[in-house]
Structure 1
Amino acid sequence: MEIKGIITAMVTPFHEDESLDLDSAKKMANWLIEKGVHGLFIAGTNGEFHLLTDDEKVELTKAVKEAANGRVPVIAGAGCCGTKHTIELSKKLKEAGADALSLVTPYYLVPNQEDLYQHFKTIAESVDIPFLLYNIPGQTGCKIEPDTANRLADVKNIIGIKDSGGDFDTQLAYIEISKKKDFIVLNGSDSLMLKAFKAGAAGSVAATSNVIPEIEVELYEDFLKGDLEHAQHQRDLMDPLRMALKKCVAPAVMKQALNMMGVTAGVTRRPVQMPTEEVIQNTKEMLDFYNISYTN
Protein backbone atom coordinates (compact mmCIF):
# COMPACT_ATOMS: atom_id res chain seq x y z
CA MET A 1 0.00 0.00 0.00
CA GLU A 2 1.18 3.49 -0.83
CA ILE A 3 2.28 5.58 2.13
CA LYS A 4 0.90 9.08 1.68
CA GLY A 5 -1.56 11.67 2.98
CA ILE A 6 -2.56 12.06 6.61
CA ILE A 7 -0.99 9.36 8.77
CA THR A 8 -2.05 9.48 12.40
CA ALA A 9 0.68 9.24 15.02
CA MET A 10 -1.68 7.15 17.13
CA VAL A 11 -1.60 7.22 20.91
CA THR A 12 -1.36 3.91 22.74
CA PRO A 13 -4.36 3.23 25.01
CA PHE A 14 -3.63 2.02 28.54
CA HIS A 15 -5.91 0.81 31.34
CA GLU A 16 -5.95 2.69 34.66
CA ASP A 17 -3.20 0.35 35.94
CA GLU A 18 -1.09 1.39 32.90
CA SER A 19 -1.40 -2.02 31.23
CA LEU A 20 -1.90 -2.15 27.46
CA ASP A 21 -5.53 -1.80 26.34
CA LEU A 22 -5.61 -3.69 23.04
CA ASP A 23 -9.40 -3.60 22.63
CA SER A 24 -9.37 0.18 22.81
CA ALA A 25 -6.42 0.30 20.41
CA LYS A 26 -8.46 -1.64 17.85
CA LYS A 27 -11.48 0.63 18.33
CA MET A 28 -9.32 3.75 18.05
CA ALA A 29 -7.66 2.50 14.86
CA ASN A 30 -11.04 1.73 13.33
CA TRP A 31 -12.42 5.14 14.37
CA LEU A 32 -9.49 6.95 12.77
CA ILE A 33 -9.79 4.97 9.54
CA GLU A 34 -13.51 5.69 9.37
CA LYS A 35 -12.65 9.39 9.76
CA GLY A 36 -10.59 9.11 6.59
CA VAL A 37 -6.94 9.00 7.64
CA HIS A 38 -4.61 7.39 5.11
CA GLY A 39 -2.36 5.48 7.49
CA LEU A 40 -1.53 4.68 11.12
CA PHE A 41 1.85 5.27 12.73
CA ILE A 42 2.02 3.31 15.97
CA ALA A 43 4.56 3.02 18.78
CA GLY A 44 6.05 6.40 17.94
CA THR A 45 6.68 9.40 20.16
CA ASN A 46 2.97 10.06 20.80
CA GLY A 47 2.49 6.31 21.17
CA GLU A 48 4.87 6.30 24.16
CA PHE A 49 7.20 3.82 22.44
CA HIS A 50 9.92 4.63 24.97
CA LEU A 51 7.68 3.21 27.71
CA LEU A 52 6.61 0.04 25.85
CA THR A 53 8.31 -3.34 26.05
CA ASP A 54 9.17 -5.20 22.86
CA ASP A 55 6.40 -7.71 23.55
CA GLU A 56 3.89 -4.87 23.97
CA LYS A 57 4.97 -3.36 20.64
CA VAL A 58 4.38 -6.72 18.99
CA GLU A 59 0.94 -7.16 20.55
CA LEU A 60 -0.02 -3.57 19.67
CA THR A 61 1.04 -4.12 16.07
CA LYS A 62 -1.01 -7.30 15.80
CA ALA A 63 -4.09 -5.59 17.22
CA VAL A 64 -3.91 -2.47 15.04
CA LYS A 65 -3.10 -4.49 11.93
CA GLU A 66 -6.16 -6.67 12.61
CA ALA A 67 -8.34 -3.58 13.02
CA ALA A 68 -6.97 -1.91 9.89
CA ASN A 69 -7.73 -5.06 7.89
CA GLY A 70 -5.82 -3.87 4.85
CA ARG A 71 -7.62 -0.54 4.57
CA VAL A 72 -4.58 1.62 5.35
CA PRO A 73 -0.89 0.90 5.93
CA VAL A 74 0.28 0.34 9.50
CA ILE A 75 3.75 1.69 10.26
CA ALA A 76 5.26 0.48 13.54
CA GLY A 77 8.13 2.00 15.49
CA ALA A 78 11.09 -0.37 15.64
CA GLY A 79 13.98 1.95 16.50
CA CYS A 80 16.16 1.06 19.49
CA CYS A 81 19.50 2.35 20.66
CA GLY A 82 21.39 -0.74 19.51
CA THR A 83 21.65 -2.18 16.00
CA LYS A 84 21.27 -5.79 17.15
CA HIS A 85 18.23 -4.98 19.31
CA THR A 86 16.58 -3.07 16.45
CA ILE A 87 17.06 -5.99 14.06
CA GLU A 88 15.54 -8.41 16.57
CA LEU A 89 12.52 -6.17 17.17
CA SER A 90 12.10 -5.45 13.44
CA LYS A 91 11.84 -9.16 12.70
CA LYS A 92 9.16 -9.55 15.37
CA LEU A 93 7.16 -6.56 14.11
CA LYS A 94 7.33 -7.84 10.54
CA GLU A 95 5.95 -11.16 11.72
CA ALA A 96 3.24 -9.27 13.65
CA GLY A 97 2.03 -7.82 10.34
CA ALA A 98 3.44 -4.29 10.11
CA ASP A 99 3.40 -2.92 6.57
CA ALA A 100 6.49 -0.78 7.21
CA LEU A 101 8.76 0.05 10.13
CA SER A 102 10.04 3.35 11.46
CA LEU A 103 13.63 3.65 12.65
CA VAL A 104 14.24 6.49 15.07
CA THR A 105 17.88 7.39 15.59
CA PRO A 106 19.59 5.98 18.67
CA TYR A 107 19.00 8.21 21.69
CA TYR A 108 21.00 9.14 24.79
CA LEU A 109 24.23 8.18 23.02
CA VAL A 110 25.06 10.33 19.98
CA PRO A 111 26.53 8.33 17.09
CA ASN A 112 28.34 10.15 14.30
CA GLN A 113 26.99 10.15 10.74
CA GLU A 114 29.03 7.14 9.61
CA ASP A 115 27.81 5.24 12.69
CA LEU A 116 24.24 6.14 11.70
CA TYR A 117 24.76 5.08 8.10
CA GLN A 118 26.12 1.68 9.09
CA HIS A 119 23.42 1.25 11.76
CA PHE A 120 20.51 1.86 9.38
CA LYS A 121 22.12 0.01 6.45
CA THR A 122 22.76 -3.10 8.54
CA ILE A 123 19.16 -3.13 9.82
CA ALA A 124 17.67 -2.67 6.35
CA GLU A 125 19.82 -5.44 4.92
CA SER A 126 18.83 -7.80 7.75
CA VAL A 127 15.01 -7.60 7.55
CA ASP A 128 12.98 -7.68 4.35
CA ILE A 129 10.40 -4.97 5.02
CA PRO A 130 10.13 -1.29 4.02
CA PHE A 131 11.84 1.05 6.48
CA LEU A 132 11.36 4.75 7.13
CA LEU A 133 14.12 6.69 8.83
CA TYR A 134 12.91 8.94 11.64
CA ASN A 135 14.64 12.26 12.30
CA ILE A 136 13.69 13.91 15.61
CA PRO A 137 16.91 15.44 16.98
CA GLY A 138 15.12 17.55 19.57
CA GLN A 139 14.22 14.35 21.43
CA THR A 140 17.16 12.09 20.55
CA GLY A 141 20.04 14.56 20.34
CA CYS A 142 20.97 12.97 17.01
CA LYS A 143 20.24 14.38 13.55
CA ILE A 144 20.19 12.50 10.26
CA GLU A 145 22.09 14.88 8.00
CA PRO A 146 20.79 15.18 4.43
CA ASP A 147 24.03 13.72 3.04
CA THR A 148 23.53 10.64 5.20
CA ALA A 149 19.89 10.37 4.13
CA ASN A 150 21.02 10.63 0.52
CA ARG A 151 23.40 7.68 0.96
CA LEU A 152 20.75 5.65 2.77
CA ALA A 153 18.22 6.33 0.00
CA ASP A 154 20.28 3.92 -2.14
CA VAL A 155 19.88 1.08 0.37
CA LYS A 156 17.25 -1.50 -0.53
CA ASN A 157 14.24 -1.40 1.83
CA ILE A 158 14.89 2.17 3.01
CA ILE A 159 11.95 3.90 1.34
CA GLY A 160 11.96 7.32 2.97
CA ILE A 161 12.22 9.47 6.06
CA LYS A 162 9.88 10.98 8.63
CA ASP A 163 11.18 14.40 9.60
CA SER A 164 10.11 15.84 12.96
CA GLY A 165 13.11 18.12 13.31
CA GLY A 166 11.16 21.34 12.77
CA ASP A 167 13.94 22.76 10.56
CA PHE A 168 12.24 23.21 7.21
CA ASP A 169 15.51 23.71 5.35
CA THR A 170 16.53 20.20 6.37
CA GLN A 171 13.17 18.84 5.25
CA LEU A 172 13.58 20.61 1.92
CA ALA A 173 16.96 18.92 1.52
CA TYR A 174 15.29 15.55 2.14
CA ILE A 175 12.60 16.44 -0.42
CA GLU A 176 15.29 17.21 -3.00
CA ILE A 177 16.57 13.65 -2.50
CA SER A 178 13.03 12.35 -3.08
CA LYS A 179 12.92 14.11 -6.47
CA LYS A 180 15.94 12.15 -7.68
CA LYS A 181 15.53 8.79 -5.96
CA ASP A 182 12.84 6.30 -4.94
CA PHE A 183 12.55 7.91 -1.52
CA ILE A 184 9.57 9.58 0.17
CA VAL A 185 9.47 12.32 2.78
CA LEU A 186 6.86 12.36 5.53
CA ASN A 187 6.51 15.61 7.43
CA GLY A 188 6.40 15.08 11.19
CA SER A 189 5.89 18.68 12.34
CA ASP A 190 2.18 19.47 12.28
CA SER A 191 2.80 23.22 11.96
CA LEU A 192 4.60 22.59 8.65
CA MET A 193 1.99 20.25 7.18
CA LEU A 194 0.70 22.34 4.28
CA LYS A 195 4.09 23.88 3.61
CA ALA A 196 5.53 20.37 3.34
CA PHE A 197 2.83 19.19 0.93
CA LYS A 198 3.48 22.21 -1.28
CA ALA A 199 7.21 21.41 -1.30
CA GLY A 200 6.70 17.77 -2.26
CA ALA A 201 6.27 15.73 0.91
CA ALA A 202 4.28 12.55 0.26
CA GLY A 203 2.49 12.65 3.59
CA SER A 204 2.34 14.02 7.10
CA VAL A 205 2.57 11.92 10.25
CA ALA A 206 0.28 14.03 12.40
CA ALA A 207 -0.25 13.77 16.14
CA THR A 208 -3.10 16.29 15.98
CA SER A 209 -5.06 13.98 13.67
CA ASN A 210 -5.82 11.83 16.72
CA VAL A 211 -8.35 14.51 17.71
CA ILE A 212 -9.24 16.41 14.51
CA PRO A 213 -8.74 13.87 11.70
CA GLU A 214 -11.48 15.33 9.48
CA ILE A 215 -9.87 18.78 9.38
CA GLU A 216 -6.52 17.39 8.30
CA VAL A 217 -7.93 14.92 5.79
CA GLU A 218 -9.83 17.83 4.25
CA LEU A 219 -6.62 19.88 4.18
CA TYR A 220 -4.89 17.13 2.20
CA GLU A 221 -7.83 16.73 -0.18
CA ASP A 222 -7.92 20.51 -0.71
CA PHE A 223 -4.21 20.44 -1.49
CA LEU A 224 -4.68 17.66 -4.06
CA LYS A 225 -7.48 19.65 -5.71
CA GLY A 226 -5.36 22.79 -5.79
CA ASP A 227 -7.64 24.70 -3.42
CA LEU A 228 -4.73 26.14 -1.45
CA GLU A 229 -6.77 28.94 0.11
CA HIS A 230 -9.14 26.51 1.82
CA ALA A 231 -6.24 24.20 2.65
CA GLN A 232 -4.61 27.12 4.48
CA HIS A 233 -7.88 27.71 6.33
CA GLN A 234 -7.82 24.09 7.49
CA ARG A 235 -4.19 24.41 8.48
CA ASP A 236 -4.99 27.49 10.60
CA LEU A 237 -7.79 25.56 12.31
CA MET A 238 -5.17 23.19 13.74
CA ASP A 239 -3.55 25.83 15.94
CA PRO A 240 -5.88 25.84 18.98
CA LEU A 241 -5.29 22.08 19.36
CA ARG A 242 -1.55 22.48 18.83
CA MET A 243 -1.41 25.11 21.58
CA ALA A 244 -3.52 23.01 23.95
CA LEU A 245 -1.26 19.99 23.53
CA LYS A 246 1.71 22.00 24.78
CA LYS A 247 0.13 22.42 28.23
CA CYS A 248 1.50 19.01 29.32
CA VAL A 249 4.10 16.46 28.33
CA ALA A 250 2.88 14.44 25.34
CA PRO A 251 0.53 12.71 25.03
CA ALA A 252 -1.31 13.71 28.23
CA VAL A 253 -3.61 16.39 26.78
CA MET A 254 -4.23 14.25 23.68
CA LYS A 255 -5.37 11.33 25.82
CA GLN A 256 -7.50 13.60 28.01
CA ALA A 257 -9.26 15.03 24.95
CA LEU A 258 -9.85 11.62 23.38
CA ASN A 259 -11.25 10.21 26.62
CA MET A 260 -13.64 13.15 26.89
CA MET A 261 -14.68 12.60 23.26
CA GLY A 262 -15.59 8.98 24.00
CA VAL A 263 -12.54 7.52 22.24
CA THR A 264 -10.87 5.53 25.00
CA ALA A 265 -7.19 6.40 25.27
CA GLY A 266 -6.77 5.77 29.00
CA VAL A 267 -3.89 7.16 31.03
CA THR A 268 -0.31 8.09 30.31
CA ARG A 269 2.46 5.93 31.68
CA ARG A 270 4.43 7.45 34.51
CA PRO A 271 6.45 9.52 35.03
CA VAL A 272 4.18 11.53 32.70
CA GLN A 273 0.96 12.43 34.52
CA MET A 274 -2.49 13.22 33.18
CA PRO A 275 -3.60 16.89 33.10
CA THR A 276 -4.52 18.97 36.12
CA GLU A 277 -8.00 20.47 36.54
CA GLU A 278 -6.75 23.75 35.10
CA VAL A 279 -5.49 22.03 31.93
CA ILE A 280 -8.69 19.97 31.71
CA GLN A 281 -10.66 23.21 31.64
CA ASN A 282 -8.39 24.47 28.86
CA THR A 283 -8.99 21.19 27.00
CA LYS A 284 -12.75 21.71 27.26
CA GLU A 285 -12.38 25.20 25.78
CA MET A 286 -10.34 23.76 22.93
CA LEU A 287 -12.99 21.10 22.20
CA ASP A 288 -15.66 23.80 22.33
CA PHE A 289 -13.76 25.72 19.67
CA TYR A 290 -14.07 22.70 17.36
CA ASN A 291 -17.71 22.06 18.35
CA ILE A 292 -16.67 18.58 19.47
CA SER A 293 -19.08 17.12 22.01
CA TYR A 294 -17.54 15.67 25.15
CA THR A 295 -18.33 14.35 28.60
CA ASN A 296 -16.91 15.91 31.77
Structure 2
Amino acid sequence: MQGIIVKGIGGFYYVKVEDEVIECKARGKFRHNELTPMVGDKVQITVNNGKGTIDKIYERHNMLIRPSVANITQALVVFALRNPDINEDLLNRFIMLCEYNDIKAVVCFNKTDLLEDPQMEEVVSMIKSAGYECIFLNAKQGIGIDEIREKLKDNVTVLCGPSGVGKSTILNNLAGRDIMETGNISEKLKRGKHTTRHSELIEVEEGFLVDTPGFSSLNTDFIEKEDVQSCFPEILQYAYGCKFTGCLHYKEPKCAVKEAVEEGKIHKKRYDFYIRVIEEKTKGRNNK
Protein backbone atom coordinates (compact mmCIF):
# COMPACT_ATOMS: atom_id res chain seq x y z
CA MET A 1 0.00 0.00 0.00
CA GLN A 2 1.16 3.53 -0.75
CA GLY A 3 0.43 6.64 1.28
CA ILE A 4 1.77 9.85 2.75
CA ILE A 5 3.03 10.47 6.29
CA VAL A 6 0.78 13.10 7.86
CA LYS A 7 2.14 13.02 11.42
CA GLY A 8 5.06 11.60 13.40
CA ILE A 9 5.11 11.25 17.19
CA GLY A 10 7.56 9.30 19.37
CA GLY A 11 8.73 6.91 16.66
CA PHE A 12 5.22 6.27 15.33
CA TYR A 13 4.21 7.54 11.91
CA TYR A 14 0.64 8.08 10.80
CA VAL A 15 0.20 7.31 7.11
CA LYS A 16 -2.81 8.49 5.11
CA VAL A 17 -3.89 5.73 2.70
CA GLU A 18 -7.02 6.54 0.71
CA ASP A 19 -9.74 7.15 3.33
CA GLU A 20 -7.91 5.98 6.47
CA VAL A 21 -4.85 6.82 8.58
CA ILE A 22 -2.70 3.87 9.69
CA GLU A 23 -0.27 3.93 12.61
CA CYS A 24 3.12 2.65 11.45
CA LYS A 25 6.63 1.94 12.64
CA ALA A 26 9.66 2.31 10.39
CA ARG A 27 11.91 -0.65 9.57
CA GLY A 28 15.34 -0.64 11.17
CA LYS A 29 17.06 -0.46 7.80
CA PHE A 30 16.23 3.25 7.62
CA ARG A 31 18.25 3.92 10.79
CA HIS A 32 21.19 2.00 9.37
CA ASN A 33 20.99 4.12 6.22
CA GLU A 34 20.69 7.29 8.33
CA LEU A 35 17.31 7.99 6.77
CA THR A 36 14.53 9.15 9.08
CA PRO A 37 10.93 9.24 7.83
CA MET A 38 9.49 12.74 7.67
CA VAL A 39 6.04 14.26 7.55
CA GLY A 40 5.22 14.61 3.85
CA ASP A 41 7.17 11.52 2.80
CA LYS A 42 5.47 9.28 0.25
CA VAL A 43 5.89 5.74 1.51
CA GLN A 44 5.07 2.11 0.88
CA ILE A 45 3.70 0.16 3.85
CA THR A 46 2.49 -3.30 4.81
CA VAL A 47 -0.35 -3.77 7.31
CA ASN A 48 -0.89 -6.67 9.71
CA ASN A 49 -3.65 -6.74 12.33
CA GLY A 50 -4.31 -3.04 11.83
CA LYS A 51 -0.70 -1.98 12.44
CA GLY A 52 1.59 -0.84 9.65
CA THR A 53 5.26 -1.01 8.81
CA ILE A 54 7.02 1.47 6.54
CA ASP A 55 8.93 -0.58 3.96
CA LYS A 56 10.03 2.10 1.51
CA ILE A 57 10.45 5.88 1.44
CA TYR A 58 10.16 7.25 -2.08
CA GLU A 59 12.63 9.83 -3.32
CA ARG A 60 11.93 13.30 -1.92
CA HIS A 61 11.27 16.23 -4.24
CA ASN A 62 12.55 18.59 -1.54
CA MET A 63 12.98 18.76 2.21
CA LEU A 64 12.70 21.51 4.80
CA ILE A 65 14.31 21.36 8.24
CA ARG A 66 12.17 23.93 10.03
CA PRO A 67 9.39 22.95 9.70
CA SER A 68 10.52 19.35 9.31
CA VAL A 69 8.54 18.28 6.26
CA ALA A 70 9.19 16.80 2.81
CA ASN A 71 7.71 17.22 -0.66
CA ILE A 72 6.33 20.74 -0.26
CA THR A 73 4.87 21.96 -3.57
CA GLN A 74 3.60 25.43 -2.65
CA ALA A 75 4.32 28.20 -0.17
CA LEU A 76 1.99 31.01 0.80
CA VAL A 77 4.44 33.77 1.67
CA VAL A 78 2.49 35.93 4.12
CA PHE A 79 3.46 39.50 4.99
CA ALA A 80 1.40 42.18 6.66
CA LEU A 81 1.42 45.58 5.02
CA ARG A 82 1.72 47.15 8.47
CA ASN A 83 1.95 46.11 12.13
CA PRO A 84 4.55 44.71 11.92
CA ASP A 85 6.05 46.95 9.22
CA ILE A 86 6.96 45.09 6.07
CA ASN A 87 10.63 44.16 5.65
CA GLU A 88 11.41 44.06 1.93
CA ASP A 89 14.74 42.29 2.41
CA LEU A 90 13.09 39.56 4.48
CA LEU A 91 10.28 39.18 1.93
CA ASN A 92 12.78 38.70 -0.87
CA ARG A 93 14.73 36.15 1.18
CA PHE A 94 11.61 34.06 1.79
CA ILE A 95 10.91 34.04 -1.94
CA MET A 96 14.55 33.23 -2.67
CA LEU A 97 14.41 30.17 -0.40
CA CYS A 98 11.21 29.00 -2.05
CA GLU A 99 12.89 29.15 -5.45
CA TYR A 100 15.97 27.33 -4.15
CA ASN A 101 13.78 24.51 -2.80
CA ASP A 102 11.68 24.36 -5.99
CA ILE A 103 8.56 25.48 -4.15
CA LYS A 104 6.00 27.63 -5.95
CA ALA A 105 5.62 30.92 -4.07
CA VAL A 106 2.34 32.83 -3.84
CA VAL A 107 2.71 36.13 -1.96
CA CYS A 108 -0.16 36.97 0.39
CA PHE A 109 -0.41 40.55 1.66
CA ASN A 110 -2.46 40.62 4.85
CA LYS A 111 -4.13 43.64 6.50
CA THR A 112 -5.08 45.12 3.13
CA ASP A 113 -6.85 48.08 4.71
CA LEU A 114 -3.33 49.54 4.82
CA LEU A 115 -2.66 49.15 1.10
CA GLU A 116 -3.19 52.79 0.13
CA ASP A 117 0.35 53.75 1.01
CA PRO A 118 2.86 54.63 -1.75
CA GLN A 119 5.59 52.55 -0.09
CA MET A 120 3.31 49.52 0.11
CA GLU A 121 2.22 49.94 -3.51
CA GLU A 122 5.91 49.93 -4.50
CA VAL A 123 6.47 46.64 -2.65
CA VAL A 124 3.50 45.04 -4.39
CA SER A 125 4.76 46.34 -7.76
CA MET A 126 8.21 44.83 -7.07
CA ILE A 127 6.75 41.39 -6.35
CA LYS A 128 4.37 41.39 -9.32
CA SER A 129 7.14 42.51 -11.68
CA ALA A 130 9.12 39.40 -10.72
CA GLY A 131 6.22 37.25 -11.91
CA TYR A 132 4.77 36.20 -8.56
CA GLU A 133 1.05 35.97 -7.98
CA CYS A 134 -0.25 38.21 -5.18
CA ILE A 135 -3.32 37.67 -3.02
CA PHE A 136 -4.69 40.45 -0.82
CA LEU A 137 -6.21 39.48 2.51
CA ASN A 138 -7.84 40.63 5.65
CA ALA A 139 -7.54 37.33 7.49
CA LYS A 140 -9.46 38.37 10.60
CA GLN A 141 -12.47 39.26 8.44
CA GLY A 142 -12.05 36.22 6.19
CA ILE A 143 -11.41 38.36 3.11
CA GLY A 144 -9.30 36.54 0.50
CA ILE A 145 -9.46 33.16 2.25
CA ASP A 146 -11.62 31.58 -0.49
CA GLU A 147 -9.08 32.69 -3.10
CA ILE A 148 -6.35 30.87 -1.19
CA ARG A 149 -8.58 27.83 -0.65
CA GLU A 150 -8.85 27.37 -4.42
CA LYS A 151 -5.08 26.91 -4.64
CA LEU A 152 -4.83 24.05 -2.13
CA LYS A 153 -6.04 21.18 -4.36
CA ASP A 154 -3.32 18.63 -5.16
CA ASN A 155 -0.71 20.64 -3.25
CA VAL A 156 1.23 20.28 -0.02
CA THR A 157 1.18 23.89 1.12
CA VAL A 158 3.21 25.62 3.81
CA LEU A 159 2.64 29.15 5.09
CA CYS A 160 5.77 31.18 5.67
CA GLY A 161 6.59 34.70 6.75
CA PRO A 162 7.60 36.52 9.94
CA SER A 163 5.71 36.09 13.21
CA GLY A 164 2.67 38.22 13.82
CA VAL A 165 1.53 38.65 10.21
CA GLY A 166 -1.55 36.44 10.51
CA LYS A 167 -0.35 32.98 9.39
CA SER A 168 -2.11 31.13 12.20
CA THR A 169 -5.36 33.03 11.57
CA ILE A 170 -5.17 32.11 7.87
CA LEU A 171 -4.42 28.47 8.68
CA ASN A 172 -7.33 28.23 11.11
CA ASN A 173 -9.70 29.84 8.58
CA LEU A 174 -8.63 27.41 5.85
CA ALA A 175 -8.99 24.37 8.09
CA GLY A 176 -12.33 25.55 9.51
CA ARG A 177 -11.18 25.05 13.08
CA ASP A 178 -8.56 26.27 15.54
CA ILE A 179 -5.44 24.28 14.71
CA MET A 180 -2.95 26.92 15.76
CA GLU A 181 -3.06 29.35 18.64
CA THR A 182 -3.01 32.88 17.29
CA GLY A 183 -0.38 35.17 18.79
CA ASN A 184 -0.43 38.85 19.58
CA ILE A 185 1.96 41.52 18.42
CA SER A 186 4.41 42.53 21.14
CA GLU A 187 3.82 46.21 21.82
CA LYS A 188 7.42 46.65 22.95
CA LEU A 189 9.12 44.82 20.08
CA LYS A 190 6.45 45.38 17.39
CA ARG A 191 6.80 41.81 16.25
CA GLY A 192 4.85 38.62 16.67
CA LYS A 193 5.24 35.97 19.32
CA HIS A 194 5.97 32.43 18.17
CA THR A 195 2.87 30.25 18.53
CA THR A 196 3.72 26.95 16.81
CA ARG A 197 5.84 23.96 17.82
CA HIS A 198 5.30 20.94 15.56
CA SER A 199 4.60 19.71 12.04
CA GLU A 200 1.58 17.82 10.77
CA LEU A 201 -0.30 17.63 7.48
CA ILE A 202 -3.94 18.71 7.64
CA GLU A 203 -6.13 17.55 4.75
CA VAL A 204 -8.02 20.51 3.26
CA GLU A 205 -9.68 20.95 -0.14
CA GLU A 206 -8.15 17.78 -1.66
CA GLY A 207 -4.69 18.92 -0.62
CA PHE A 208 -2.60 19.21 2.53
CA LEU A 209 -1.63 22.14 4.73
CA VAL A 210 1.44 22.02 6.96
CA ASP A 211 0.19 22.95 10.41
CA THR A 212 3.43 24.71 11.34
CA PRO A 213 3.04 27.92 9.34
CA GLY A 214 6.37 28.60 7.80
CA PHE A 215 10.12 28.49 7.81
CA SER A 216 11.58 29.48 11.15
CA SER A 217 15.09 29.79 9.75
CA LEU A 218 16.22 32.02 6.91
CA ASN A 219 19.85 31.02 6.64
CA THR A 220 20.96 31.34 3.01
CA ASP A 221 24.68 30.76 3.59
CA PHE A 222 24.47 27.32 1.98
CA ILE A 223 23.46 28.79 -1.40
CA GLU A 224 26.56 29.18 -3.57
CA LYS A 225 27.18 32.56 -5.17
CA GLU A 226 26.93 31.04 -8.66
CA ASP A 227 23.51 29.57 -7.78
CA VAL A 228 21.93 32.80 -6.51
CA GLN A 229 20.66 33.90 -9.93
CA SER A 230 18.67 30.65 -10.24
CA CYS A 231 16.55 31.96 -7.34
CA PHE A 232 15.51 35.01 -9.40
CA PRO A 233 13.31 33.94 -12.33
CA GLU A 234 13.21 37.42 -13.84
CA ILE A 235 17.03 37.51 -13.95
CA LEU A 236 17.24 34.07 -15.55
CA GLN A 237 14.84 35.31 -18.21
CA TYR A 238 17.48 37.74 -19.53
CA ALA A 239 20.70 35.96 -18.50
CA TYR A 240 20.96 34.07 -21.80
CA GLY A 241 21.75 37.37 -23.55
CA CYS A 242 24.90 38.09 -21.55
CA LYS A 243 28.20 38.19 -23.44
CA PHE A 244 30.14 35.99 -21.02
CA THR A 245 29.28 32.47 -19.85
CA GLY A 246 29.00 32.45 -16.07
CA CYS A 247 28.12 36.14 -15.89
CA LEU A 248 27.01 37.12 -12.37
CA HIS A 249 25.30 40.28 -13.70
CA TYR A 250 27.32 42.38 -11.28
CA LYS A 251 30.43 44.06 -12.66
CA GLU A 252 30.69 42.27 -15.99
CA PRO A 253 30.45 44.35 -19.22
CA LYS A 254 27.73 43.92 -21.83
CA CYS A 255 25.40 42.26 -19.36
CA ALA A 256 21.87 41.70 -20.66
CA VAL A 257 20.48 41.63 -17.13
CA LYS A 258 21.89 45.05 -16.26
CA GLU A 259 20.47 46.38 -19.52
CA ALA A 260 17.06 44.95 -18.59
CA VAL A 261 17.26 46.77 -15.24
CA GLU A 262 18.09 50.05 -16.98
CA GLU A 263 15.15 49.55 -19.34
CA GLY A 264 12.78 48.88 -16.44
CA LYS A 265 12.18 45.24 -17.41
CA ILE A 266 13.61 44.07 -14.08
CA HIS A 267 12.56 45.97 -10.96
CA LYS A 268 15.47 48.00 -9.58
CA LYS A 269 14.74 46.99 -5.97
CA ARG A 270 14.82 43.30 -6.86
CA TYR A 271 18.13 43.74 -8.68
CA ASP A 272 19.59 45.74 -5.78
CA PHE A 273 18.62 42.91 -3.43
CA TYR A 274 20.26 40.39 -5.77
CA ILE A 275 23.48 42.41 -5.72
CA ARG A 276 23.41 42.59 -1.89
CA VAL A 277 23.22 38.80 -1.73
CA ILE A 278 26.11 38.45 -4.22
CA GLU A 279 28.21 40.92 -2.21
CA GLU A 280 27.46 39.07 1.04
CA LYS A 281 28.70 35.85 -0.46
CA THR A 282 31.77 37.51 -1.98
CA LYS A 283 32.73 38.97 1.42
CA GLY A 284 32.03 35.63 3.07
CA ARG A 285 34.52 33.89 0.76
CA ASN A 286 37.13 36.58 1.27
CA ASN A 287 36.86 36.26 5.05
CA LYS A 288 37.49 32.52 5.02
By relative contact order (CA 8 Å, sep 6+), the higher-ranking structure is 1
More helix by share: 1
Task: Calculate the TM-score normalised by the size of structure 2.
Answer: 0.30
Structure with bigger gyration radius: 2
